[in-house]
Structure 1
């Protein structure tokens, strides 16, 4: 997929691709996650509503 050849010295291109997979892609996904979190703000009142709803559901499931 990235030019990796087992049991051989890796090319510069393969090493760059491996670095990209192990560093750049996770950083990009973390940045995307932060961006999504910024567009989905949870205020104190919304948080309280979510907790109340979860408690109500839990009580209904227990019965």
Structure 2
């Protein structure tokens, strides 16, 4: 993921991350990736439960205004 981010220009672009997991919260916010695209506007990510519905993901994604 870092290599891909570093190979592209995200200046002025909005980026976010999300994860689905039944236990781990590690990485859901994507903070460990921010230095790989420092010119991006990072929006806080989110962790969803492993059984999150497609509708739940869609509502969250649409709420970001991206």
TM (normalized to structure 2)? 0.18
TM (normalized to structure 1)? 0.19
User: Highest relative contact order (Cα 8 Å, sep 6+), 1 or 2?
Assistant: 2
More strand by percentage: 2
